[in-house]
Structure 1
Amino acid sequence: MKVLLVEDSPVVLKVLRYLVSQNDLFIPILATCYEEAKASLIEYKDDFFAAIVDLNLPDAENGEIVDLILDRKIPCIVLTGNFDDELRLKLLNKGVVDYITKDSRYSFNHAMKVLDRLEKNKNIKVLVAEDSSTSRLFIKILLQQYQFQVVEAENGQEALAILEKDHTIKMLITDYNMPLVNGYDLVRMLRHNERFKCLVIIGLSAEGDSSLSAKFIKSGANDFLKKPFYHEEFHCRVNHNLEAQEMLQTIRDLANVDPLTKLFNRRYLFAEGESAYQKAIASGRLLSVIMLDIDYFKKVNDTYGHIVGDSLLESFSAYLKSAFPNEMISRFGGEEFCILLSTENEESAVSKVSKLFESLRVMQFTECDISITCSGGIACDMQTTLSQAIEIADERLYMAKNTGRDKLVSSD
């Protein structure tokens, strides 16, 4: 993604180019004046992810560069040496993403942080629940400036229905005073549902009750904003809450995800997997347990080295996730994996895993084009605990390995 950097100071431009280049996703395109920037926009046909611009250029001293960028619908970050509060508000109202003054080293770091945030936000969906079409439009515009995907709801009941259907929504911004279901009740309903425990929620209200913010947060909201609010305050609150949630997710991943394969680890399997297994028992559903082991994996390490072996484990794990996208998959240890597979009956479970084995026989992994096979054991009869089912599947796995490998054993 190309990022246009417009700055007349050679030193500052060099610093910006270096900082932008630290992110492999970004390609810095440099311009030292208005005309160079205009020429770059024409040359690359306005194909820019964002622009970082100085306001006072030799051939455009009054911020004309901002209009040039915004007219082309390119997110614009202003990085200037002059702080002018009136001008700042004017530019924010025009639609610039941020107005940053070059008063310290942190200013440049902040500009990079905004740029990185814009890139992350492209994949983040935000639901705005607001009965006022004017307020809803205003919030939508602010979110789209930061590259968020925006979904709208006119009341709390509609918001609930949307959240139930769309599992990809990461944030809810909800007004308090809405028909059918107000914002406060909406938050309470969501927080009583385990599925929405990681949803970031920001409450809004124009009402003067000073206790409303505490009421929202005590009911489970992450933050609260009183209307009207400034652009920068809104963006800061939204971004800070997302970053806090992402940090929590990183901590969870460190505890629950295998760093090499990016699959769940054994600890997570026995904690969350047991919970899922008990729910399946209670609801009368079948949850088959499959134990897989890559055949002769030690030969791969001995022949190609551990780096290639690790690459094979990464590629194989990615293939497992693509083959079973909605199932819990974990790295049990070494080259051994466990899958909890939800199907209607045993025949369907065995068929799905058998197809995996068939596809592996014609595949090659890593740059060394390594062919592999697997041995597997499956336990379809529901046991009292997940541990018991894993033990049965593991015994059948070793039976498969001891009777020729490259097979799935489903019974004793």
Structure 2
Amino acid sequence: MNVVRKILVVEDSPVVLKVLDHLLSQNSTFTPVLCATYQEAEDQLEGGNEAFFAAIVDLNLPDAENGEIVDLVLSNKIPCVVLTANFDDDLRLKLLHKGVLDYIAKDSRYSFNHVIKVIERLRKNQGINVLVAEDSSTSRLFIRVLLEQYCFNVIEVENGQEALAMLEKDSTISMLITDFNMPLVNGYDLVRMLRHNSRFQDLVIIGLSAEGDNSLSAKFIKAGANDFLKKPFYHEEFHCRVIHSLEAQEMLEAIRDLSCIDPLTKLKNRRYLFEEGEKIFLSSNKDISLVMLDLDRFKEINDTYGHLVGDSLLTLVSQEMQTAFYDELVCRFSGKKFCILSESGLNLKSKVEHFLADIKLKEFTEAKISISFSASLYSQSTEHFEDLVRKAGQLLRQAKQTGHDVFVF
């Protein structure tokens, strides 16, 4: 279920209000609350039962012409983005030091899109854990404040050795920001050690240093860091580098996911089954079970109702499988054939039997099609994961030869 987040928009221009309202409303998790004056915004903040997730404000309002709205929003601990018609570099720096997330000039259509992008990034950041490895308590605090402004969850350690231990302990950490000069294990060696471990290949790493020559940044990046920042740095530069590195990694993961997901059913595909299955097989001492299911008479359904109905049927059936086997890995093996991989195998036979019986009682698509599956379950030890797949396939062929709606195990 999507969590709805209220976004306070304070702007005296009806046109700009309408544009921001439209752009924010395109995201179902955002509810814009529109105000044209300082007083309206103050009333909303005082009378609202639910907290605001973020605010987009203009600096020059009819009843507050000198940016007073920023202090009001920040005093309520609401992340604030300034969208203004006049760009003033000194004012920009002053507001950034106050804690404003971004200072954006209304000079093009892209400005509005950028505002929305900042708000959407805040939503994504709520689920991202960032580890900061820095021996200076002052620098750690400064970095923590910058990250928390953008809604990241921050974990702190004082040296590279503690960072290694924390990363081993907490698999939810997505980003590491590490100083170079630290006791026990310095930042450069920390990066090299992490990149030699396949577990941390997707960890986003940003190096920091206040010393060293210009070659240090190249050394960090060649060792495997995603980016490097020389201290001291500006708020905006830090945020831009962090967000850019995260988005690059997210794009890479999205591309990787596309190669492992069946485009029709959105289940994991055959490639993923063999890649992930091999990992599970090796880590679980070969004690895993594999179910294969083949949709009966699917060719007849395609011939009778057409391929669009057949595709819709496969999608609906896949959703049923994901619901029934939410603890297992469900994959589309080929056309009308599916696999379910279980690490424990406990009660798997009864779960399959229940699914097969339940699926026959349902009707799918507007054509109200009834279906059945031929199925197999193989759970004996094998030398290789491919052997497990082959054995389950042999059992499935036996089931198909016996007739439709047969379960062999």
Cα separation, 2, equivalents of 1:366 and 1:149: 44
Q: Which SS does the other structure have where 1:174 is aligned?
A: strand
Residue 240 of structure 2 corresponds to 236
Residue 15 of structure 1 corresponds to 19
Residue 256 of structure 2 corresponds to 252
Give 1:160 deviation, angstroms.
1.4
Give 1:256 deviation, angstroms.
1.5
Residue 276 of structure 1 corresponds to 279
1:70 and 2:74 aligned:
yes
| Identity level (%) | 60
Residue 350 of structure 2 corresponds to 354
**TM-score with structure 1 length normalisation?**
0.87
Which letter maps to 2:239?
Answer: H
Residue 395 of structure 1 corresponds to 394
Give 1:73 deviation, angstroms.
1.4
Cα separation, 1, equivalents of 2:198 and 2:294: 33
Is the 1:379–1:393 contact (alpha carbons within 8 Å) kept by the matching residues of 2?
yes
Cα separation, 2, equivalents of 1:316 and 1:297: 17
Q: Which SS does the other structure have where 1:49 is aligned?
A: strand
Where does structure 1 lack aligned partners over 5 or more consecutive residues? 344-348
Residue 202 of structure 1 corresponds to 206
Cα pair distance change 1:287/1:69, threshold 3 Å: same
Residue 213 of structure 1 corresponds to 217
Residue 39 of structure 1 corresponds to 43
Cα separation, 2, equivalents of 1:164 and 1:97: 32
Cα separation, 1, equivalents of 2:364 and 2:235: 48
Cα separation, 1, equivalents of 2:118 and 2:347: 49
Which letter maps to 2:72?
Answer: L
Which letter maps to 2:212?
Answer: G
1:141 and 2:151 aligned:
no
Give 1:124 deviation, angstroms.
1.3
Cα pair distance change 1:157/1:350, threshold 3 Å: same
Give 1:298 deviation, angstroms.
7.5
Is the 1:362–1:371 contact (alpha carbons within 8 Å) kept by the matching residues of 2?
no
5 Å matches for 1:369-388? 375-383=374-382, 385-388=384-387
Residue 346 of structure 1 corresponds to none
Cα separation, 1, equivalents of 2:79 and 2:160: 31
**Match for 2:327 among 319, 323, 327?**
323
Cα pair distance change 1:383/1:406, threshold 3 Å: same
Which letter maps to 1:234?
Answer: F
The range that moved more, 395-404 or 329-338, is: 395-404
1:193 and 2:189 aligned:
no
Cα separation, 2, equivalents of 1:260 and 1:49: 35
Residue 105 of structure 1 corresponds to 109
Is the 2:127–2:153 contact (alpha carbons within 8 Å) kept by the matching residues of 1?
yes
Is the 1:217–1:224 contact (alpha carbons within 8 Å) kept by the matching residues of 2?
yes
Cα separation, 2, equivalents of 1:139 and 1:366: 54
Give 1:119 deviation, angstroms.
1.1
Cα separation, 2, equivalents of 1:370 and 1:168: 43
Which letter maps to 1:395?
Answer: Q
Cα pair distance change 1:86/1:157, threshold 3 Å: same
Which letter maps to 2:279?
Answer: A
Residue 31 of structure 2 corresponds to 27
Give 1:263 deviation, angstroms.
2.6
Deviations 1:202-251 (A, max 9, x none): 01111133221111111111001111111100000010011111111121
Cα pair distance change 1:266/1:32, threshold 3 Å: same
Aligned residue pairs total 399
Give 1:300 deviation, angstroms.
8.4
Which letter maps to 2:390?
Answer: E
Which letter maps to 2:289?
Answer: S
The range that moved more, 361-370 or 193-202, is: 361-370
CA root-mean-square deviation: 2.9
Residue 56 of structure 1 corresponds to 60
**Match for 1:184 among 188, 191, 208?**
188
